Amino acid sequence: GAGVSQSPSNKVTEKGKDVELRCDPISGHTALYWYRQSLGQGLEFLIYFQGNSAPDKSGLPSDRFSAERTGGSVSTLTIQRTQQEDSAVYLCASSPALPVGNEQFFGPGTRLTVL
């Protein structure tokens, strides 16, 4: 079946521009996660959705970052006024809500480069 998809796969933007990253989770998965992976670093948790609500936004680095999820499916991560330090691979993952502790299924990521 179809896995998690993300678009675009690569995005190059200029400093100060806004970008939108999209994630299509596996059908039926109610949990959705965004992570950031900088070069040579581990995964940095950004935000987690259960259905359309985000009970945990603690990982968003600044108020330039926001995310939404509509219809319990597609999610969009928006970065406003991008900075060079935002350059990273942004990963999306989805998981069935139950049973608790289910694995996450990762998308291929969006590589963001801010010039």
Partner 1 sequence: GNSVTQMEGPVTLSEEAFLTINCTYTATGYPSLFWYVQYPGEGLQLLLKATKADDKGSNKGFEATYRKETTSFHLEKGSVQVSDSAVYFCALSETNFNKFYFGSGTKLNVKP
List interacting residues with partner 1 (CB under 8 A).
31, 33, 35, 41-43, 45, 48, 50, 55-56, 91, 93, 95, 97, 100-109
In the chain, the largest separation of any two C-alpha atoms, in whole Å, equals 43
The least distance separating partner 1 from the CB of residue 80, rounded to whole angstroms, comes to 25
**C-alpha to C-alpha distance for 34 and 59, rounded to whole angstroms:** 9
**C-alpha to C-alpha distance for 70 and 53, rounded to whole angstroms:** 9
Closer to partner 1 by CB, 35 or 65: give it: 35
**Beta partners for 45?**
35
The least distance separating partner 1 from the CB of residue 103, rounded to whole angstroms, comes to 5
Closer to partner 1 by CB, 13 or 104: give it: 104
Q: Is 99 helix (H, G, I), strand (E, B) or coil?
A: coil
